[in-house]
Amino acid sequence: MIRSLFGKILTSHIVVLVLLTASIGISLSHLVTNYLVEAKKAELIRVGISTTRFLNAVTQDQLYSPSLLENLSDFSGTTMWIIDQENHTRSGKAPKIWQHHMQVQNDPAENLFNGEVTSRLYSANDDDDPAIVVSIPFPQNPSIVLMIHTPITGIAKTSAAIEQLLLYTILGSILLAGIFAFILSRNLTKPISNISHAAEKFTAGNYKSRTTAIGQDEIGRLGFTFNEMAAALERIEQERQEFFSDITHELKTPLATIQAVTESLLDGVVTEKTKQACYLKTTLDECHQMNSLISELLNLARIESGQMHFQYQNLNLGEFIEKQKGKFQPMSAEKNQQLIFSVSPKLVFVKTDPLRIEQILSNLISNALRHSPDGNKIFIQFERDKTSFILSVTDSGEGIPQKDLPYLWDRFYRVDKARSRNKGGTGLGLAITKKLVEGMHGNISVSSIPNEKTIFKVIFPKTF
């Protein structure tokens, strides 16, 4: 059984070509043979009609001279004889094939005396070659007919020669077509094989494996799609490895702190109650940090898996802003920072998901407070235009270098790789924020001038 695609395509091409050329050859041979036989019949009929007219003209009675009939037979290259309705030969001599036919087939002779010209093809037997026999009635005497017999050995030889020529032509065509089918099949299956080998390498763990079978045809587009898929999977795998590396680091650091503090307390290194309380507070803070990290990881997983649903309702912006002021007042007071909220005129209600919009705003405000110096002002603005609801958070803190802006939405990405964890945050806030905004059919962007200001802008479709 043929297993390879190349073998299947090549075999199917050759089988189709053999069947097609064989059917064409057989049809052509049959058509040519029929044409030659019919042409010979027509020729014999013309000769027979001319002969009956000639005999009527030169012979006034019904006793036609056998020698004259023999001479006419020799002249036309046929055998001629005349029979009556009783199948008696009136002149000339009937050939053996006719006598054999009349004896074996018991064909009544009166069928020849209906006043019409007839022609028959007799197959070869052991003694005679195939032949054509035509009957021509005499116009002046319908009781007798002129019989003309001629073997078609020449036609058979011509047909055989044509069949042989067709056979050679078919064999040559099959050979050339087989070579063409081989080249075509190889060119068709080679890029598929290339894609298959690249996929096998990729499956084995070589995530940089790519196919070179790319182009404008269907297989080329398949190769291009495979390369895009491989690049996406490689990127996902790299992100997965980085994610586990980051999460391990993020969990290892507080666990190491908790372990060190706990060991110090158990070993009796710290005996003063004030220091013990300080150590216990450090342990509690690290537990809170790990709890926040795990919670945000769960949130991010739900968003990315499509399990987070949004509940839209009318949100009173005035009440919402007062709630946010109270929520962030302790955090801003620690650094003597000021939150300044502003709302466009007549913008009172917004149709949105209150819980998710609060989560988005909380992430952006927390991020601004952590990265802004003491005494800084942070501006939170709610606007609207004809098509959108716009939320922006602006701070005048340390800013973000241009090279880091595209990566802010990546999990655990930090602009300052060496910065202390004392600033807080899990490294997931902006990643979650972007996913939430996109889940609500919005768009978030950031622009920054280092050491001057940073603006986060969120645009939602108008739903108010």
Which strand (E) or helix (H) includes residue 261? Answer: helix 218-266
Q: What is the band of 5 on the pLDDT scale with cuts at 50, 70, 90?
A: low
pLDDT for 427 beyond 90: no
14-59 pLDDT, tens digit per residue, is: 777 778 877 887 888 788 888 888 888 888 889 888 888 888 777 6
Contacts of 179-183 spanning 24+ positions with Cβ under 8 A: 181/9, 181/10, 181/13, 181/14, 181/17, 182/10
Predicted pLDDT of residue 450 = 85
pLDDT tens for 78-94 read 889 888 887 788 888 88
- Check residue 420 and give its pLDDT: 42
The reported pLDDT for the residue numbered 443 is 93
| Residue 63 pLDDT exceeds 80 | no
Q: What is the pLDDT of residues 253-307, one digit of tens each?
A: 678 778 887 887 787 777 777 877 887 887 887 787 777 777 777 777 777 777 7
Please say whether the dihedral angle defined by the alpha carbons of residues 148, 153, 156 and 161, taken in this order, is positive or negative: negative
Strand-pair category, 338-343 with 144-151:
unpaired
- How far apart CA 353 and CA 359 sit, in angstroms, is 10
What is the β-pairing status of strands 313-316 and 131-137? unpaired
Measured CA to CA, the distance from residue 378 to residue 358 in angstroms comes to 17
DSSP H or E stretch at residue 267: none
pLDDT tops 90 at residue 382: yes
Q: Cα–Cα distance between 11 and 166 in angstroms, integer?
A: 23
What pLDDT is recorded for position 348? Answer: 87
Spatial contact of 459 and 388, defined as CB atoms under 8 Å apart: yes
Instruction: For residues 371-400, give the mean pLDDT.
Output: 88
Give 264's contacts (C-beta < 8 A, 6+ positions apart). Answer: 270, 279
Q: Domains plus CATH for the chain?
A: 5-158 (3.30.450), 218-303 (1.10.287.130), 309-461 (3.30.565.10)
Strand partners, 460: 389
Model pTM?
0.48
Would strands 338-343 and 377-384 be described as parallel, antiparallel, or unpaired? Answer: parallel
Question: For position 92, what pLDDT does the model report?
Answer: 82
- Mean of pLDDT over the chain: 80
Q: What is the 3-state secondary structure (H, E, C) of 26-81?
A: HHHHHHHHHHHHHHHHHHHHHHHHHHHHHHHHHCCCCCCCHHHHHHHHHHHCCEEE
